[in-house]
A and B are shown apart, each in its own frame.
Chain A
Amino acid sequence: MKTVISSWLLFRLLFQPTAVFEELSETRPEPHSVFLKFVVWLAIIPPVFAYIGASNFGWRLGAAEPLFMPSGDLILVSIIYFFALLFAFVSTAVVAQWMATTYGARHSLGIHFALVTIIAAPLVVGSAIHLFPHVFLNIVVLIPALMWSMYLLYRGLPIVLKISPERGMLMASALIGYLLVAAVSFLGLTVALWGQGIGPSIGI
């Protein structure tokens, strides 16, 4: 069984998702190699795009004036964004591994890292829209990316983890539950940080 996955696999995902999942189901990647080779680099892309976009154009929230942040704050927010994404990658993989026992799925942490990386890939590609920091535009572009990610989750999970499609459906839905909670926690944490003076200047 192969223990490494190639970068080529991620590109093929766009055209032949099922073949990629089947290939992945026959590999047994090491968690640290997936982490260092893919996760760190994928997690760095959205904050870099966001930094470039926000420092050049300022965030547009619909009202007339774009919101600019001091560069120190912007760097801090981008770094927090990077670590939040790393946490999201790792925690989702660990939660998926924890759920695997219940659904009788493959248990190796490496394969869960690889699966989460693949599922997140469309969102990372979609994050290029951060270069144009307009909130509504970002939402409109990231929604199809999210739908593509969800399709990959429901389609790929049972193949990669070698369980029946029905069990895959249950496990994918349980993971959606975790991801929804993680997403809303991220939002809550963000606005709580604004209240603490990190981020845009608001009158609290």
Chain B
Amino acid sequence: MVSGTVEGERYFDRVVTALVMFSVIWAVLGMTVGVYIAAELIWPTLDFGLPWLSFGRLRPLHTNAVIFGFGVSALMGTAFYSVQRTSHVPLYAPRLAWFCCYAWQFTLLLGGLSLLAGWNTSKEYAELEWPFDIAITVIWVCFAIVFFGTIARRRIKPIYVSNWFYGGMIIVIAMIHIVNSLAIPVTISKSYSLFAGAQDAIVQWWYGHNAVGFLLTGGFLGMMYYFLPKQADRPIWSYRLSIVAFWAFTYSYIWAGPHHLHYSSIPDWVQSLAVAMSLILLAPSWATMINGIMTVSGASQKLRTDPALKFIVLSLAFYGLATFEGPMLAIKSVNVISHYTDWTIGHVHSGALGWNALITFGTFYFLVPRLVGTVLYSVRLANIHFWMALAGTMLYILAMWGAGVSQGLLWLSLDEIGELSFSFKDIMASMPPYYALRFVAGLVFLLGAVLMTYNLYMTIRGRRTIHVRPPAVTSHQV
């Protein structure tokens, strides 16, 4: 570690701007596909008999586009931005960072087309076939080299908490992606998992749950820990709590996956262990929420001028909901009703829309004007977007709660002689009103995202990313 700065040295922010723009494009694309498949559930003929427009192919395109396109591009961009500033040093291997940026977009673009063509491993959130799995592994290792290389060259001794969360995400995602993707290729478009039966299910949900945990929760907590104090212009409320919460979160999350497999053929003790760890997980999740809320509570004057902070404040409320609802749904006596119903879809979206999307929107409204050295094109549009995002999320959750609880009750209902009262077909035939409500909710949320895209485009139009020099480091920081 060397103190001081090198003459002419500056942060590499152009790659951040590019990643943010790609992220916004994926958001609009992924959410549009989401709204389309929501419409297909009401009007099934919308697939026009074309296989590539069928629900089965578009659904993984929706999840991959929003999680890996919108989410990971945002995480990569904000990780590159914040790791430089918390280390007071420019990115290590900036060309490799550019490679990560474009290779990721190219892989996802081809991957998306392969999903439309019907290539699918049948593993949820890991649908892409083996050639893409290899590409993702290579890009992810490059991401790790850039990120940890920058930290290794840092000029400030402590590693700030946001970097712990981003770093945890990079390591755990590499681990679970590689293990879950182990497969024997048969052709270019088909492979068979190395695992079989119950083991395959356990590995898949070890992957699936920790992708939610370390990418959609941990990664975005990294974003929160850097951008919330920046926007509030004050340090995190309790730094010690943030570090304790990080280790407690990392330790307890990794065990919780089998709660996706309750009442299945996996061992009972594995299910019970997952319930226990899911309940324990509430503590570090809420510690982080309280840390965020208390940090922002003293910065109310910022809300007057900064629309971005509103998004982050509200995202914390939905983070609180999602991290409470998750452990609750993991309890077996609740899960017996909720599993396989639309309640699960509602739960996922309270996290995905309410937490991930809102905090990312808030971060982009803060970040983009600073990247190009200007102010946001329209605060009014951002405020309208805020209310649309809130309305869309609430409506979505309420529609799915109603649909999910009704389904859970109906398909367990017994008649006088102890037989099931309703057929699966009858129950699903009664769902379109809820799906119409969800369609409207998704449309409102999507239109909000389109407003943001226009707002950010007008902010960035005709401008270049400005140069920022790392500050000189004083001796007591080293």
Contacts and interface: CB of A to CB of B under 8 A. Distances in A.
Interface of A: 61-65, 67, 102-103, 135-136, 139-140, 143, 146-147, 164, 166-167, 169-170, 173-174, 176-177, 180-181, 184-185, 187-188, 190-192, 194-196, 200-204
A53 B183 CA distance: 56
Q: Please classify the interface of chain A as helix (H, G, I), strand (E, B), loop, or mixed, using the class held by over half of its residues.
A: helix
A135 B427 CA distance: 13
Interface stretch (B113-121, B149-157, B249-257, B295-303): B295-303
B231 to A, nearest CB: 13
Contacts of B437: 139-140
A61 B301 CA distance: 47
B414 A192 contact: no
B422 interface: yes
A136 B400 CA distance: 11
Nearest to A191: B337
Contacts, number: 132
B422 to A, nearest CB: 5
Interface string B292-336: 011011001111100000100110111011001100110101101
Interface in B225-281: none
B199 interface: no
- By size class, the interface of chain B is 35 or more
A166 B309 CA distance: 11
Contacts of B375: none
Interface stretch (B81-89, B209-217, B404-412): B404-412
B402 interface: yes
Given A139-B437, A166-B303, A192-B333, A173 B412 contact: no
Contact of B297 (A102, A180, A181): A102
Contact of A63 (B391, B395, B398, B422): B422
B433 interface: yes
B303 A63 contact: no
A143 B318 CA distance: 18
A65 B421 contact: yes
Contacts of A136: 402, 433-434
Given A61-B410, A204-B336, 14 more contacts: A61-B430, A64-B426, A103-B297, A136-B433, A166-B300, A166-B301, A169-B300, A174-B293, A177-B293, A180-B350, A181-B321, A188-B325, A191-B409, A194-B337
Contacts of A200: 409, 413
Contact of A170 (B313, B408, B422): B313
A65 B301 CA distance: 55
B288 to A, nearest CB: 13
Nearest to A164: B300
B301 to A, nearest CB: 6
Contacts of A103: 297, 300
Contacts of A181: 320-321, 324-325
Nearest to B335: A191
Given A166-B300, A166-B301, A202-B409, A177 B321 contact: yes
